[in-house]
Amino acid sequence: MAYVEGSHHVTLSVGSAQEDVDFHIKTLGMRFIKRTVLFDGSLPVYHLYYSNANGGPSSVVTTFPWAKQGRTGKPGTNQAREVLLSVPSTSLDYWHKRLTEHNIDVENTHAFDQRRLAFHHPSGLEYVFVGNDNDDREGHPGNGVPPEHAIHGIHGVGIHATTPERMIDFATDTFYAQNTIVEDGDRATFQVGNQKIGNHIELIGNRTDDHGTWNYGAGTYHHFAWNLDTLKNQDEIKFEIEGAGYTDISELKDRKYFKSVYVRTPAGALFELAVTHDDGGWDCDENPQELGTHFQLPNQFEDRRDEIFSNLEPLED
Domain ranges of the chain: 6-310
For the chain, the C-alpha Rg in angstroms (whole number) is 18
pLDDT given for residue 41 in this prediction: 81
- Low-confidence spans in the chain with pLDDT less than 70: 317
pLDDT given for residue 44 in this prediction: 81
Using a 10 angstrom Cβ sphere, with 0-12 exposed, 13-18 middle and 19 or more buried, the burial of residue 286 is middle
Q: Considering the chain, what is the average pLDDT of its residues? A: 95
| pLDDT tens digits for range 232-268 | 999 999 999 999 999 999 999 999 999 999 999 999 9
DSSP letter for 25, please.
Answer: I
Question: What CATH number should be reported for the domain whose range is 6-310?
Answer: 3.10.180.10
Kindly give the residue spans of alpha helices, DSSP state H, lying in the chain: 17-21, 92-101, 164-173, 231-243, 305-310
- Report d(CA 88, CA 151) in Å as an integer: 8
pLDDT given for residue 135 in this prediction: 96
Question: Is the entire prediction scored with pTM above 0.85?
Answer: yes
- Report d(CA 20, CA 267) in Å as an integer: 27
> Comparing C-alpha atoms, which of 220, 217, 222 is closest to residue 67?
217
- Report d(CA 285, CA 294) in Å as an integer: 9
pLDDT given for residue 278 in this prediction: 86
> Comparing C-alpha atoms, which of 228, 258, 196, 230 is closest to residue 5?
228
